[in-house]
Amino acid sequence: MDDFPELDALMRAEKKHDWMSEPRFKRMFDEIEDGLQGVLGKGRYEWVDRRVFDQVFDRSTLLAVHKLMQKGKIETIDYPIARGKEAHVFHATTNHGPVAVKIFHTTNAVFKGLAKYIDGDPRFSGLSRRHRELVNIWVRKELRNLKRMRKHGLRVPEPLDSLKNVLVMEYIGDERGASPRLKDITIDKPYELFEDLLEFIAINWQTCELVHADFSEYNILWLDGEPWVIDVGQSVTRQHPSSDEFLIRDVTRLVDWINRQGHSVDLAESLARVLDDPVPSLPSFSGGD
């Protein structure tokens, strides 16, 4: 793919959209789009169609993905492995193996309801609430939450890089495909898994000083007999005014799940364990947040 010397300047000036219609920049975008379409779909599935491409890869996203390719963080984007209201997640390749690329939709009205997970988080106070900027904040928030959780040994994907609305992270899966969600499989020893996940919530609360805020069987992947927790963009610090409410909701969902497996676990007792029981100190995956 060609390099474009104007790229960095365009990224810095993204909020001013007039330049997009200038002929030289239109040609540049056409070249970037053509180049990306040259690598998209070269995985196991020919998934690319114009509707999906236009939904996910607007001009700002094209710039961000191209920049990450220039940095060597992405080589090819192969096929989607998850599709949601807020984002598409793609299997991608690099020189070091597969990665997951999460691309958040920049025109989705769903993000208007996500400010409640940012307002009140001291790490992101005083920032713009424009829609596109809200999405970019959300990506930075997910990256920082992942780093903090991994710093304290929790099993979440390693964040590798981010730019604008694009997050590159560790791929959770194997050569057969992405790991399944807990919702889609049957667990042989569900109570042991419940204990493991309750410990996750407790360590996240007591040690990381975070609450996931959307902890459910939809956001837990299963790989080689171990759970991996994903989708932590909405996670907030304990200082957030709604953190207690979010914690109770997370524990309630976990208790509901285990009780559907034929157990009779008490919610109040489980919540007390999260709040009061000593938690182990786990080996760090990687440092910093």
Q: Give me the torsion for CA of 272, 274, 280, 283, rounded to 10°.
A: 180
Name the active-site residue from 3, 214, 244, 289.
214
Q: How many Å is the maximal CA-CA distance in the chain?
A: 66
Instruction: Give the span between the Cα atoms of 61 and 29, in whole angstroms.
Output: 11
Instruction: Indicate left, alpha or beta for 126 from its phi (over 0: left) and psi (-120 to 50: alpha).
Output: left
CB half-sphere exposure, 277, CA atoms < 13 A: 16
231 is catalytic: yes
Q: Please check whether residue 235 is in contact with residue 185, taking contact to mean a CB–CB distance below 8 angstroms.
A: no
Name the active-site residue from 121, 161, 196, 231.
231
* Strand, coil or helix: 88: strand
8 is catalytic: no
Residue 230, both tokens: 């994903």
Task: List Cβ neighbours of 10 (8 Å cut-off, separation of 6 or more).
Answer: 19, 25, 63
* Strand, coil or helix: 261: coil
Instruction: Give the span between the Cα atoms of 164 and 65, in whole angstroms.
Output: 9
Q: Please check whether residue 121 is in contact with residue 146, taking contact to mean a CB–CB distance below 8 angstroms.
A: no
Catalytic residues: 214, 231
